[in-house]
Chains A and B, each alone.
Chain A
Amino acid sequence: MTATTDLPPAEPAAPPPLDAVGFLRWCWRQLTSMRVALILLFLLAIAAIPGSVLPQRGTDPIRVNEWIQGNPTWGPVLDRLGFFDVYAAPWFAAVYLLLFVSVIGCVLPRTRLHWRALRSAPPAAPSRLDRMPEHRSFVSDLPATDVLDAAAADLSRRRWRVARGDGWVSAEKGYWRETGNLLFHTALIALLIAVGYGALFGWRGNVIVREGSGFSDTLTQYDAWGGGRLADPAELPPFAFVLDDFRVEFERREAQRGAPRLFEADLTLWPTPGSPSEAVTVRVNEPLSIDGAKVFLVGHGYAPELRLTDALGRVVHDEGVVFLPQDGNLTSTGVLKAPDATPSIGIEGLFLPTSAVDDVRGPHSTFPEADDPAVFLSAWAGDLGLDSGVPQSVYRLDTEGMTQLGIEALRLGETWALPGGNGTVEFVGLTRWASFQIAHDPGKEPALVAAIVALAGLMMSLFIQRRRIWVRVRDDGQGATVVTVAGLARSDEADLAPDVDVVTSAITGRSPRT
């Protein structure tokens, strides 16, 4: 599957033979034919489309579930067929693997042919050069040998590969075109291998860190962690950091009001246990590199500090609670669970950095900066269900088995006495949190190298022209030599006229026209 006219691939029209070996050979020839490669290319393009239209598990699992619930007929069917994880689906893999087998099946024999061509002399000049698309004939005073000498010397000097025979010179140039072509296709295979290698050995995790709290790189500290089959969680680089400060700024002017303008996280970092700490800043577009892992700043939100005092007067909770943003103005939701309180208390909350209430939208935020912060709380007492053994989300309160105590809106510094003497909740302060993605992809650098080689090969195969030049001489019987110079493009778009002109002027001794 390569892109020149040099070798029109055989497209067998014959039906497949009946014996097994013959059939396999027929299949192989079909698979490596350009026609099938083209069909596979377009299949690949079509197969990639559903993943851009339907939500995908890899990027947005919540929307996938919503989609399936909203389409009870088609949802489960599409789910089973892998349409919500297209790029990991067997049928998608089948297309690109077949395509790459097809590429290999074409690159190997062409590499052999090209290797042979690289080591052999250009073929002898055809007898009738005036049939070539580009040719000049003229009479020279020089003897035939001198003409050929001049032509051969000029062509060699300009790095053509030259062969000489009886009364002719044959030269060829542009072998790099095919080299580039093979390089491009080989590099694509290498790219696929690098991507696969990265997927096998790489890992990636996400963690939310509140201002003032820390993270150390072990599996248990992650909120979510996923690794390839051969990734070893015991090999995580043992760094640790504390999020000292998170700075964020938002657009306050009319145009794109509320759009983020600055994210910066100041960390105190310990690259290895026991090493001296260093102060670093992580920004979007400026990840932190530690020992093969990269720390990316990917998200942020608010963590209102809530102090919960239970019915017995004990402070059972006194720190920031991570609230997850629900919209661009950072209307956020969060949950506080206090199983140790008497009685056990659960609080669902809505946090509004710039609070507003209207009839249509209810309480909502009008700007992502904490200009006028408020929390809307709903308190529940009873069994939190933490002992049931069923895994629970820290961002969701299972209110089955609980009774609602009441709801209240609090501004900064306000305290809510829970109804029934069940204690108090105080909105003490406000901190931010930042979420980090920490990733290790050992296939990244090989993939980049492969991509650059592919690009270089591609440019060589498109911009270098493979071409041949021939010179034939004939004695005109009167002491002069009739010279014919001709050129032939072996690749698509070459214009041979300049080459033929240069050789012609080298022989005639005139300066080249071009």
Chain B
Amino acid sequence: MTSASLAEWSNLAVYSTMLVLVGALVAFAVSFAARGRRVMVSTPVYAGSGGPEFVDHSRPLAEHGDEQPGRRAGNIAMSLTWLATGLLLLGLVLRGLWAGRVPWGNMYEFSLAWTFGILAVFLAVSLRRDIRWLGLPVIIVSILSLGLAVTVLYTEAAQLVPALRSWWLIIHVASAIICGGAFTVAAAISALYLWRDRAERRGDVTGIVASLPDAARLDTLAYRILAFAFPLWTFAVISGAIWAEYAWGRYWGWDPKETWAFITWVIYAGYLHARSTAGWRGRRAAYISLLGFVSFLINYFGVNIFVNSLHSYAGL
């Protein structure tokens, strides 16, 4: 197989990933809507006061004898997500083979890898608990990120500038990629938490929001993911510092990328502390989690595109 066709196969795998993700998106949406509708009917608040339309919707479901509506669509969605993640992995591997190095040497490749990180964290968590309710936001973010990658960020694979040629590229960037996936998934959960929490405080848990787990569980899940990601991010920063010492002669120089990695670290440190402080748990912690994600995005997109940084040499 020639290298040109390797590149084409990689691109094909990425486009297929997007296609399958769109399928997963539809399936998750169907599953989500079905569950939301069912809950509407079964919620006592609506049982008396709801219009007949809700009852009408519930009938076919009840006749099916389906215990959990949308289950089948959810299963399909999960399978499609596994398939998409596998295809994306294939795309990354082919890209790496083509370039003869790790497939995260520029923003296009990093976006692919980040998306893979998001999907991988989502699937890893899904092995231990049912998180289909999280599928919709995760798939949407993944499609957006891949779409951005193939339209705006696409570059031909090229060799790396000398400063990037190091074992630390594998270690440092790989940990940052996994963290990126975990931060994204945690941010999605935190956003859903805020939605659910508002509904709970109003005593009005109806509609689609009722198909989410209760706020306390969302809070715990976001915490667990971030408690895993924070030490990894710490490691990413430390390994970056070691590499910077080798490449640039100083381990910390307040380069914009370093600065924003530091800011991100401080925000998530704040999250962990907030979660263990009375009055800061729950809602405020969720806002901090979202803030940390914004900081990660600024560090990734903002610094690479808008700021003159030592890290912005990898080609858009």
Known: A42-B270, A204-B249, A259-B315. A59 touches B162 (CB 8 A): no
Known: A42-B270, A49-B263. A439 touches B250 (CB 8 A): yes
Q: For the complex, is B90 an interface residue (Cβ under 8 Å from A)? A: no
A residues in contact with B276, CB < 8 Å: 3-5, 34, 492
Chain A residue at smallest Cβ distance from B299 = A52
Q: For the complex, is B227 an interface residue (Cβ under 8 Å from A)? A: yes
Q: For the complex, is B255 an interface residue (Cβ under 8 Å from A)? A: yes
B residues in contact with A439, CB < 8 Å: 249-250
B residues in contact with A35, CB < 8 Å: 277, 279-280
Within 8 A of A (CB), among B152-181: 155-159, 161-163, 165-166
Interface residue stretch chosen among A111-119, A282-290, A481-489 = A282-290
- The main secondary structure of chain A at its interface with chain B is mixed
Q: How many residues of B contact A (CB 8 A)?
A: 57
Of B159, B231, B279, B303, the contact of A455 (CB 8 Å cutoff)? B231
Report how far A261 CA is from B266 CA in the complex, Å.
36
Report how far A8 CA is from B280 CA in the complex, Å.
12
Report how far A116 CA is from B83 CA in the complex, Å.
54
Residue-wise interface mask of B (279-293) relative to A, using a CB-CB cutoff of 8 A (1 in contact, 0 not): 110000000000000
Q: How many residues of A contact B (CB 8 A)?
A: 62
- Report yes or no: A52 in contact with B270, Cβ–Cβ below 8 A: no
- Report yes or no: A492 in contact with B223, Cβ–Cβ below 8 A: yes
- Report yes or no: B248 in contact with A298, Cβ–Cβ below 8 A: yes
Chain B residue at smallest Cβ distance from A49 = B263
Chain A residue at smallest Cβ distance from B251 = A444
Chain B residue at smallest Cβ distance from A459 = B231
Of listed A34, A48, A285, A462, residue having the most chain B CB within 10 A: A285
Residue-wise interface mask of A (230-273) relative to B, using a CB-CB cutoff of 8 A (1 in contact, 0 not): 00000000000000000000010111100111110000000000
Residue-wise interface mask of B (227-266) relative to A, using a CB-CB cutoff of 8 A (1 in contact, 0 not): 1001100110010011101111111111110011011001
Of B158, B161, B303, the contact of A255 (CB 8 Å cutoff)? B158
Q: For the complex, is A360 an interface residue (Cβ under 8 Å from B)? A: no
Report how far A79 CA is from B248 CA in the complex, Å.
27
Of B159, B238, B246, B249, the contact of A437 (CB 8 Å cutoff)? B249
A residues in contact with B182, CB < 8 Å: none
- Report yes or no: A455 in contact with B235, Cβ–Cβ below 8 A: yes
A residues in contact with B250, CB < 8 Å: 204, 439, 441
- Report yes or no: B162 in contact with A261, Cβ–Cβ below 8 A: yes
- Report yes or no: B224 in contact with A493, Cβ–Cβ below 8 A: yes
Report how far A260 CA is from B238 CA in the complex, Å.
27
The smallest C-beta distance from B168 to any residue of chain A, in angstroms, reads: 8
Report how far A296 CA is from B251 CA in the complex, Å.
13
The smallest C-beta distance from A456 to any residue of chain B, in angstroms, reads: 9
- Report yes or no: A41 in contact with B273, Cβ–Cβ below 8 A: yes
B residues in contact with A51, CB < 8 Å: 254, 259
- Report yes or no: A254 in contact with B254, Cβ–Cβ below 8 A: no
Chain A residue at smallest Cβ distance from B307 = A52
A residues in contact with B277, CB < 8 Å: 8-9, 34-35, 38
B residues in contact with A308, CB < 8 Å: none
Known: A1-B273, A260-B161, A455-B234. A38 touches B280 (CB 8 A): yes
Report how far A35 CA is from B269 CA in the complex, Å.
13
Within 8 A of B (CB), among A457-471: 458-459, 462-463
A residues in contact with B262, CB < 8 Å: 48
Of B156, B246, B256, B273, the contact of A285 (CB 8 Å cutoff)? B246
B residues in contact with A11, CB < 8 Å: 278-279
The smallest C-beta distance from B109 to any residue of chain A, in angstroms, reads: 13
A residues in contact with B270, CB < 8 Å: 38, 41-42, 45
A residues in contact with B165, CB < 8 Å: 284-285
Q: For the complex, is A512 an interface residue (Cβ under 8 Å from B)? A: no
Of listed B242, B248, B260, residue having the most chain A CB within 10 A: B248
Of listed A9, A263, A455, residue having the most chain B CB within 10 A: A455
Known: A45-B270, A52-B260, A59-B255. A454 touches B234 (CB 8 A): yes
20 pairs of residues in contact across A and B, judged by CB atoms under 8 Å: A3-B273, A4-B276, A41-B273, A52-B256, A52-B303, A59-B253, A254-B156, A255-B155, A255-B315, A261-B159, A284-B247, A285-B166, A294-B249, A447-B251, A448-B238, A454-B234, A455-B235, A458-B230, A458-B231, A492-B275
Residues of chain B whose beta carbon lies under 8 Å from any beta carbon of chain A: 155-159, 161-163, 165-166, 220, 223-224, 227, 230-231, 234-235, 238, 241-243, 245-256, 259-260, 262-263, 266-267, 269-270, 272-280, 295, 303, 307-308, 313, 315
Q: A34-B276, A56-B254, A493-B220 are in contact. List 7 more A-B contacts (CB 8 A).
A: A49-B263, A87-B254, A284-B165, A285-B247, A298-B248, A462-B231, A492-B275
